[in-house]
């Protein structure tokens, strides 16, 4: 048995923040942001937190799949901006949607979170332990963004995407995942600084920090590398891959990956211009659009690939 995507749902906040809006609060401009990243606007949440966005996306995914909340065996939320240390966002979603029979937990794999969640589910399906899963990528990174740092604040957006996975004959063909903790400091958010009565220190709120060029170099190497590994392992030729659904971090990263893979840009759909980098939500947001636009037919082969803080990376090759 393998994992098949049975339905997708998304939720993005209503507030649209354009590049011109950001130029009013930091020293930046529309031309720089568009040409360096491909981003034109992003959504920023003022009401819903990570769990609320996740629950709304989850309900839509269940509806699309025709699956009831009670049928869910396992519910995984990938996020790097949870509302609380605990309870987990996944447990909050479980309560909100009534997935009473599910085991629910969060995973922290940053922008690779959706891919990691899918691969964890695949393991359970292959072992015959569970049959129906709900995976969600949800972020409100706006709350850990330093809105005076133009190097990061123009990049990210809030949003959530969810998918119902069912154990089936066809679906995931192969997958890979990896991490390198030595590169942790290049993209970090130290929002839980230690504080106790012995050290006399107090907990401090920290913001996201990033060495953009280092992350860029990492991504343009790892994304094509992970795709190549999967193609080689499965023996599936590139001609059979209809689309590469990559984490939407920067248009230039996606272009560089296409070039290294020697594949045409029309195989790389994008939604970054409208949502910015929504971290673990970016892949399901894009997949949802592809479904809405009728771009995917049963039997199509696609590769999904994500990378992010940790550093983490992963890719999945599946048949739709």
CA distance 155 to 145: 10
Supply the minimum distance, in Å, between the C-beta of residue 136 and ligand UT7: 18
Q: Cβ distance 43 to 17 under 8 Å?
A: yes
Binding mask 175-194 for ligand UT7 (x = CB under 6 A): ------------x-------
**From candidates 308, 312, 315, 316, binder to ligand UT7 by CB under 6 A:** 308
Measured in degrees and rounded to the nearest 5, phi and psi for residue 304 equal -110, 140
Q: Is 32 in the site for ligand UT7 (CB under 6 A)?
A: yes
Record the tokens describing residue 64, joined without a space.
Answer: 């699309």
Supply the minimum distance, in Å, between the C-beta of residue 156 and ligand UT7: 8
Residue 40 falls in the annotated catalytic set: no
Q: Is 231 in the site for ligand UT7 (CB under 6 A)?
A: no
State which residue, 43 or 150, has the beta carbon closest to ligand UT7: 150
Look at the block and give the residue holding tokens 């984490």.
Answer: 247
The Cβ-side half-sphere exposure at 75, using a 13 Å CA radius, reads 29
Size of the site for ligand UT7 (CB under 6 A): 21
If you compute the radius of gyration of the chain from its CA atoms, what whole number of angstroms results? 19
Residue 111 falls in the annotated catalytic set: yes
Element spanning 76, H or E = strand 74-78
Q: Cβ distance 106 to 134 under 8 Å?
A: no
Residue 277 falls in the annotated catalytic set: yes
- Cβ-based neighbours of 249, under 8 Å, separated by 6 or more: 111, 155, 215, 219, 272, 277, 282, 307, 308
Q: Is 105 in the site for ligand UT7 (CB under 6 A)?
A: no
Supply the minimum distance, in Å, between the C-beta of residue 117 and ligand UT7: 16
> How many residues does the structure list for the chain?
320
Give the footprint of ligand UT7 on residues 118-157 (CB under 6 A): 150-151, 154
State which residue, 7 or 157, has the beta carbon closest to ligand UT7: 157
Q: Cβ distance 308 to 279 under 8 Å?
A: yes
Q: Is 207 in the site for ligand UT7 (CB under 6 A)?
A: no
Positions that interact with ligand UT7 (CB under 6 A): 28, 32-33, 36-37, 111, 150-151, 154, 187, 210, 212-213, 215-216, 219, 249-250, 277, 279, 308
Q: Report, as residue numbers or ranges, the catalytic residues.
A: 111, 247, 277
């Amino acid at each position: 048995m393998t994992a098949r995507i049975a339905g997708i749902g998304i939720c993005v906040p209503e507030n649209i923040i354009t590049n011109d809006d950001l130029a009013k609060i930091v020293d930046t401009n529309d031309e720089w942001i568009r040409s360096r990243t491909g981003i034109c606007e992003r959504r920023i949440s003022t009401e819903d937190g990570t769990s609320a966005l996740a629950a709304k996306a989850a309900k839509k995914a269940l509806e699309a799949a025709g699956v009831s909340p009670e049928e869910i065996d396992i519910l995984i939320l990938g996020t790097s901006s949870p509302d609380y240390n605990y309870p987990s966002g996944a447990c909050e979603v479980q309560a909100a949607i009534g997935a009473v029979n599910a085991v629910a937990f969060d995973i922290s794999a940053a922008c690779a979170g959706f891919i990691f969640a899918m691969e964890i589910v695949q393991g359970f399906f292959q072992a015959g332990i569970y049959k129906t899963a709900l995976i969600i990528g949800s972020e409100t990174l706006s709350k850990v963004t330093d809105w005076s740092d133009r190097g990061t604040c123009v990049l990210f957006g809030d949003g959530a995407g969810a998918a119902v996975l069912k154990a089936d004959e066809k679906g995931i063909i192969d997958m890979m995942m990896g991490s390198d903790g030595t590169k942790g400091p290049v993209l970090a958010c130290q929002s839980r600084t230690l504080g106790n009565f012995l050290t006399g220190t107090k907990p401090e709120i920290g913001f996201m920090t990033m060495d953009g060029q280092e992350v860029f170099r990492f991504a343009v190497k790892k994304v094509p590398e992970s795709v190549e590994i999967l193609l080689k392992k499965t023996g599936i030729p590139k001609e059979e891959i209809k689309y590469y659904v990559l984490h939407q971090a920067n248009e230039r990263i996606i272009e560089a990956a296409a070039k290294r893979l020697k594949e045409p840009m029309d195989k790389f759909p994008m939604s970054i211009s409208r949502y910015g980098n929504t971290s673990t939500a970016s892949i399901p947001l894009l997949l949802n659009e592809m479904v809405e636009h009728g771009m995917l037919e049963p039997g199509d082969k696609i590769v999904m690939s994500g990378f992010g803080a940790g550093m983490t990376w992963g890719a999945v090759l599946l048949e739709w």
